[in-house]
A = this chain, B = another copy of it.
Amino acid sequence: MKFSVTVTLKKDVLDPQGKVVENTLKNMGMIDLKSIRQGKHFEIDINENDLKEAEKKINDMCRKLLVNLIIEDYKISKI
């Protein structure tokens, strides 16, 4: 079973990497750009046929390693 996990910085957390990309794009002439924020993306393949059980395991991985819950949010979706 395959899942995608998107990890983003919480709304109020400063995103210096995104800011650099934003400034660069603006300097390249993309004046319509309002804002850009960068995050992480994981594609996880797991040996588990029960959807509920698989989601629980993915959630576990996020909380134990992939996500810093203090400054980041995450979203799991089946693909």
Contact = CB atoms under 8 A, between A and B. Distances in A.
B24 A65 contact: yes
> How many copies of this kind of chain does the complex include?
2
Q: How large is the interface on A (under 10, 10 to 19, 20 to 34, 35 or more residues)?
A: 20 to 34
Nearest to A60: B30
- Kindly name the residue among A39, A44, A46 whose own CB sees the greatest number of chain B CB atoms within 10 A: A44
A65 B17 CA distance: 13
A6 B65 contact: no
A61 B37 CA distance: 14
Given A21-B66, A65-B25, A57 B38 contact: no
Interface of A: 4, 6-8, 18, 21, 24-25, 28, 30, 32-48, 57, 60-61, 64-66
